[in-house]
Amino acid sequence: MVEGCELMGTTLWIVDINVDELWETPEIKQAADYLCKGEVIAFPTETVYGLGANATDSQAVKKIFEAKGRPSDNPLIVHIADPKQMKELVDEVTPVGQQLIEAFCPGPISLIFKKKEGVFSELVTAGLDTVAIRIPEHPVAFALLRAAGVPVAAPSANRSGKPSPTSAEHVMDDLNGFIKGVIDGGETGYGLESTVVDCTGEVPVILRPGSITADAIKEVVGEVIVDPALKDEKEAPRAPGMKYRHYAPDHPLYLVDGTSELLQSFVNQFKRDGKRIGVITTRENQAKIDADAIIVMGSQADLSSIAHSLYDSLRKSDVLDVDILLSLCFPEEGVGQAIMNRLRKAAGNRVLTQADLAK
């Protein structure tokens, strides 16, 4: 008998991630069985929750796009349990790819290779001749992939245009009634999606920044290129998904490039125009801000704590009774690059500086 409560057709399985041999528990076995039968299942990874389907089954993969409302020209990442499966899926594991696998897999990184023809549903790769492969390290993701035994295509388990989910609750808020089930393994750790790296050439190219940083990659392979589109809006991004304006909160978000005093000056300026202001800020800056609503997101001293709670904070901001949201910029070093990449998208690139303050 499998314990799980069913709401409007979506089963929620709550699992204890500390159990040994999780892949043999009835909850994981049932979820894996649904995956193999062509259903879509949401599951936790160490980055964000994913919405998985058998990557070799077009009918199943189609359900991912339908549930998310995702554009079909945006390819999906394929998840596997073991690097040994790689050779059945890709044409060639390049030398840089091999180095990155050895250094970071399993972990929060997706590696792009030339795909083997005839393995994946065409919907997974959106017509490209490459495929992104990820080996997650989360015990639930690993158990599910091991129990299912098939490569699993999984984008983040949010409705398109919402922040990626970092808890089962976020997934239920977006997709309850639209998918077969959700495995609840608690909050995800890193909180931002994996670093996406093109490994088809001699030098790896970062297409999406994540918790595995450019410096960490450089340390392993000696050289790394960051897709110029990540810095310059006029460049066309090489990861199709990066062109969409994801992660948009319901209230317009403005980033402030400066101190918390400058941010407070903008709060005051907007208030003079009759606006209600919400501020997303760190524990250290909380006491320095006077606004209509404040959401506290991690500690300034630990950028990974900000990455961990960024999406939850953006989701919380949607229910605030405010007109405008403000947040300070973060230093663009280490995981700060990924944080600022997501924040800039959420803000539609609106960044205020001292020069924008009315005299």
* Residue ranges of the binding site for L-threonine: 47, 79, 134, 154, 194
Nearer to Mg ion, 156 or 211 (CB): 156
Spell out, one character per residue from 265 to 294, where the chain touches ligand TXA: x when CB under 6 A holds, - when not: ------------------------------
- From the CB of 128, what's the least distance to Mg ion, in Å? 17
Q: 113 - beta bridge partners?
A: 131
Among 85, 130, 286, 300, binds ligand TXA (CB under 6 A): 130
Residue 48 contacts ligand TXA per CB under 6 A: yes
Residue 227 contacts ligand TXA per CB under 6 A: no
Q: Which residues are annotated as a binding site?
A: 47, 70, 74, 79, 130, 134, 154, 156, 164, 194, 208, 247
- From the CB of 81, what's the least distance to ligand TXA, in Å? 13
3-state secondary structure 273-310: CCCCEEEEECCCCHHHCCCCEEEECCECCEHHHHHHHH
Q: Which two tokens stand for residue 130?
A: 């490459």
Nearer to ligand TXA, 182 or 295 (CB): 182
Nearer to Mg ion, 47 or 156 (CB): 156
Residue by residue, DSSP assigns 138-169 as -HHHHHHHHHH-S-EE--BSS-TTSPPPSSHH
- From the CB of 20, what's the least distance to ligand TXA, in Å? 24
Residue 76 contacts ligand TXA per CB under 6 A: yes
Strands 181-184 and 130-134 come out as unpaired
Q: Which residues are annotated as a binding site for ATP?
A: 70, 74, 130, 156, 164, 208, 247
Nearer to ligand TXA, 212 or 325 (CB): 212
- CA separation (Å) from 18 to 21, 22, 185? 9, 8, 10
- From the CB of 232, what's the least distance to ligand TXA, in Å? 17
| Residue in the shown chain whose Cβ atom is closest to ligand TXA | 241
- CA separation (Å) from 132 to 80, 195, 200, 243? 11, 11, 11, 17
Residues forming contacts to Mg ion in the complex (CB under 5 A) are 156
Give the separation between CA 135 and CA 114, rounded to whole angstroms: 17
Nearer to ligand TXA, 32 or 289 (CB): 32
Residue 156 contacts ligand TXA per CB under 6 A: yes
Nearer to ligand TXA, 241 or 278 (CB): 241
Residues 78-117 that bind ligand TXA (CB under 6 A): 110, 112
Residue whose pair of structure tokens reads 């101190």 in the numeric block: 259
Quick one: which H or E segment has residue 12?
strand 10-14
Pure H helices in 22-154: 26-36, 58-68, 86-89, 95-104, 122-125, 139-148
Give the separation between CA 54 and CA 152, rounded to whole angstroms: 5
Residue 131 contacts ligand TXA per CB under 6 A: yes
Burial class (CB in 10 A: 0-12, 13-18, 19+), 7: exposed
Nearer to ligand TXA, 80 or 352 (CB): 80
Helix and strand totals (H; E) in the chain:
11, 17
Which residues here bind ligand TXA, judged by CB under 6 A?
45, 47-48, 50, 74-77, 110, 112, 125, 128, 130-132, 134, 154-156, 193-194, 196, 207-208, 238-242
